[in-house]
A and B are shown apart, each in its own frame.
Chain A
Amino acid sequence: GQQVMQIPQYQHVQEGEDFTTYCNSSTTLSNIQWYKQRPGGHPVFLIQLVKSGEVKKQKRLTFQFGEAKKNSSLHITATQTTDVGTYFCAGLPYSGGGADGLTFGKGTHLIIQP
């Protein structure tokens, strides 16, 4: 079945440093979605990427979708303590549509030291 690998599992940064998490799917994706989950909370939707090579920005966050629609990245510039949490990518497979559900990576836990 489809697998989504996400690295790194943990990332410790000093406040103000940049952060990047990478996501790689075993199959071509229809789209990829990114979520943020705070400790004790639930996944909160950040963005959806659909087109090959797509790049989207939200303030300090930059999201990219690979040309082959199999990989993606999230980059945060100048991290702040409010960025703490676990960032998940979730891929929707190309065949089968939404009925296959989202396949989530294991997440990257971002820990920020003031």
Chain B
Amino acid sequence: ETGVTQSPTHLIKTRGQQVTLRCSSQSGHNTVSWYQQALGQGPQFIFQYYREEENGRGNFPPRFSGLQFPNYSSELNVNALELDDSALYLCASSLDDQETQYFGPGTRLLVL
């Protein structure tokens, strides 16, 4: 196992609601990246946090936001949930932004 943990494992929400997903990075890793993986697709980059600052962002709207805490754990917040937000949300931690990324088990979000 990678040492990256995520909570919750599964979540069901309805359209318009808000959700917060959590990630604890591997010990010693200061970078956390978040990805969305729709069914049958490869993961898509949402954003990355490096030492508590957003370090880069993929093609996702502003209703996807995040935080990184001093212990390098991280949160992904999604507002105004849409049906298409149903996916596996993965966080990955790395030693810094250029290094190998190790993925957590993911949170499966279903929006009804």
Contact = CB atoms under 8 A, between A and B. Distances in A.
Contacts of B2: 45
A92 B33 CA distance: 13
Given A42-B90, A42-B105, A98-B98, A104 B42 contact: yes
Interface string A1-43: 1000010000000000000000000000011010100000111
B96 interface: yes
A99 B43 contact: no
A1 B58 CA distance: 10
B25 interface: no
B104 A99 contact: no
Interface residues of A, number: 27
A49 to B, nearest CB: 11
A100 to B, nearest CB: 6
Contacts of A80: none
A53 interface: no
Contacts of B35: 101-102, 104
A44 B1 CA distance: 9
A92 B101 CA distance: 11
Interface of B: 2, 31, 33, 35, 41-48, 50, 55-56, 58-59, 88, 90, 94, 96-106
Given A1-B59, A42-B105, A88-B43, 7 more contacts: A42-B104, A43-B90, A92-B98, A98-B55, A101-B46, A101-B48, A102-B101
